[in-house]
Amino acid sequence: MRLRGADQVADLVTAARDGSPRAVARLISLVEDGSPALREVMAALAPHTGHAQVVGLTGAPGVGKSTTTNALVAELRRQHRRVGVLAVDPSSPFSGGALLGDRIRMSDHATDDGVFIRSMASRGHLGGLAWSTPQAVRVLDAAGFDIVLIETVGVGQSEVEIAALADTTLVLLAPGMGDGIQAAKAGILEIGDVYVVNKADRDGASQVSRDLRGMLSLADRREGAWRPPIVKTIAQDGTGLPEVAAAIGHHHDWLVVTGELAARRTRRAREEIEAIALEVLRGRWGSVGRTDEVSALAAAVAAGTSDPYSAADRLLGG
Ligand code: GDP
């Protein structure tokens, strides 16, 4: 996508803030493409950000993440909150914009301009989703969405990264998936702000909930620390979703009162800056005339005529 001049960026940003889904979609495409226009876009968006509550949703495949996202969106819409959803698949380099799951999900909220749903893909971008997701969140935030849900659609590994992007992290579990043990292994006992035991209509949901409560009670929590609630849901029919929405609201209040919201956001901004700085450096090394230099340095280090620290110094200094 080509954009010329500041006017087009300003127009897009204005249109997105006026609620144009098309403008929001175009801005997110610029993020995915790593467009050079992003500098201007982010500068134009910055004064309008900081309002949205960013909620991450994670859990093993099959626990009901997309069903829960859908039901949560419906619940939040009942409360007249505008909701943006980013479905991120860290394991896939392909754009999921046209995936079947997306279309099915979209169909529930297709005529509702208070909902924007988008799959994010890294498209082989070096910084990947860790780089692009926070920028897509900025787009939705500036476009006036009250809540931005980030749902992981991929497998494993990504939970902790998603937690780093969100103000509030929901961890989903379900009976029949050996989640008790898995939970401890994957480290999700540390990252959840709200635990959702989905498929409460199935045998074993109460057991999962009890096991989880037992494990969470072992955690060493300071006085005044947040105690993650456990909410049982049947995502398919919306049971328990008002309680999930309430828990998200309580956590947000706690974040504000304790100053933890500002602390988390500052931490996040720091990571964003570092990711962008690294991108800029990588871009410089890949620029015309410098790839030869990097190759020569690599050959020298491989041959033992230089060491990697000196080579890195040369790269950074030059
Ligand atoms: P994801 O892989 O975590 O996104 O899981 P999905 O949302 O795709 O759900 C996986 C399967 O579980 C689907 O067949 C859903 O219909 C089903 N499912 C989701 N929520 C519930 C629930 O509350 N109860 C039952 N029995 N099945 C559910």
10-residue block means of pLDDT along the chain (318 residues)?
Answer: 65 93 92 88 95 92 90 95 87 47 57 85 60 91 96 61 83 78 63 94 92 84 88 96 98 96 92 84 77 90 96 85
Predicted local confidence at residue 116, as pLDDT: 93
Predicted local confidence at residue 96, as pLDDT: 44
What is the atom index within ligand 1 of the atom nearest the CA of 200?
23
* Cα 250 to averaged position of ligand 1 atoms, centre (Å): 26
Predicted local confidence at residue 122, as pLDDT: 58
* Distance from C-alpha of 15 to C-alpha of 304, rounded to nearest angstrom: 56
Mutate which of 236, 239, 244 for ligand 1 pocket (most atoms within 8 A of beta carbon): 236
* Distance from C-alpha of 241 to C-alpha of 70, rounded to nearest angstrom: 10
* Distance from C-alpha of 239 to C-alpha of 198, rounded to nearest angstrom: 10
Tell me the two tokens of residue 124: 């082989």
What is the atom index within ligand 1 of the atom nearest the CA of 69?
7
* Distance from C-alpha of 8 to C-alpha of 299, rounded to nearest angstrom: 45
Tell me the two tokens of residue 294: 């990097």
Report the Cα–Cα distance between both ends of the chain, in Å, rounded.
33
* Distance from C-alpha of 172 to C-alpha of 246, rounded to nearest angstrom: 16
63 lines ligand 1 (CB under 6 A): yes
Burial of 204 (0-12, 13-18, 19+ CB in 10 A): middle
Q: From atom 17 of ligand 1, which residue's Cα is the shortest distance away?
A: 64
Predicted local confidence at residue 169, as pLDDT: 92
* Distance from C-alpha of 73 to C-alpha of 63, rounded to nearest angstrom: 17
Predicted local confidence at residue 62, as pLDDT: 85
* Cα 66 to averaged position of ligand 1 atoms, centre (Å): 8
Domain 50-258: CATH class, spelled out: alpha beta
- Kindly report the number of other CB atoms within 10 A of residue 95's CB atom: 17
Tell me the two tokens of residue 40: 């201007």
Predicted local confidence at residue 4, as pLDDT: 55
Predicted local confidence at residue 56, as pLDDT: 93
* Cα 174 to averaged position of ligand 1 atoms, centre (Å): 9
| Cβ–Cβ under 8 Å, residues 197 and 208 | yes
* Distance from C-alpha of 75 to C-alpha of 96, rounded to nearest angstrom: 25
Residue 14's closest CA among 62, 53, 47, 54?
Answer: 47
Helices first, then strands: H and E counts in the chain:
14, 7
Q: From atom 25 of ligand 1, which residue's Cα is the shortest distance away?
A: 199
Residue 247's closest CA among 57, 25, 96?
Answer: 57
* Cα 103 to averaged position of ligand 1 atoms, centre (Å): 17
Q: From atom 18 of ligand 1, which residue's Cα is the shortest distance away?
A: 64
235 lines ligand 1 (CB under 6 A): yes
* Distance from C-alpha of 229 to C-alpha of 206, rounded to nearest angstrom: 14
Predicted local confidence at residue 184, as pLDDT: 54
Residue 136's closest CA among 60, 64, 35?
Answer: 35
| Cβ–Cβ under 8 Å, residues 218 and 90 | no
* Distance from C-alpha of 52 to C-alpha of 3, rounded to nearest angstrom: 27
Domain positions in the chain: 1-48, 50-258, 270-317
